[in-house]
């Protein structure tokens, strides 16, 4: 089984190449990965950087992908360097939040506020 990792429109999409099941489809600008898991245990762990709990920004992690099963949109297996290049070029453009609060609100880039 291979997992195809690609950008479709503005989304990071991970698809099982055997069943065509979409395992992950998230806006690409709010997704990042854990470098230490890629390097140390050969897995790609994406997470959503756009969740807020309490007064800090936390993340929600998605199910990991075994690095040895990861392929690109042309079904070419990723190397660790090529998956890093893909991620750096395609993911994490911004969280949509400013990391500051004002009177119990988290300020977003668009000027709106979220109650903490």
- Nearest 5°: CA angle at 4, between 50 and 77? 120
Which residues are CB-neighbours of 13 under 8 A, at least 6 positions away? 4, 5, 6, 7, 22, 24, 25
Q: Residue 98: its pLDDT value, please?
A: 42
Q: Residue 96: its pLDDT value, please?
A: 46
Residue 101 pLDDT exceeds 70: no
> For the chain, how many structural domains are there in total?
1
Can you give the residue range of the structural domain that contains 94?
3-115
Residue 71 pLDDT exceeds 90: yes
φ and ψ at residue 56, rounded to 5 degrees: -125, 160
Residue 24 pLDDT exceeds 90: yes
Q: What is the pTM of this model?
A: 0.74
């Amino acid at each position: 089984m291979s997992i195809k990792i690609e950008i479709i429109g503005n989304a990071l999409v991970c698809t099982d190449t055997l069943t065509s099941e979409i395992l992950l489809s998230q806006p690409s600008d709010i997704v990042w990965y854990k470098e230490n898991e890629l390097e140390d245990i050969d897995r790609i762990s994406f997470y959503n950087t756009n969740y807020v709990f309490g007064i800090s920004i936390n993340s929600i992690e998605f199910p990991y992908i075994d690095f040895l099963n990861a392929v690109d949109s042309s079904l070419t297996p990723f190397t660790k360097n090529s998956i890093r290049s893909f991620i750096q070029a395609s993911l994490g453009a911004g969280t949509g939040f400013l990391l500051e609060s004002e009177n119990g609100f988290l300020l977003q880039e668009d000027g709106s506020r979220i109650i903490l």
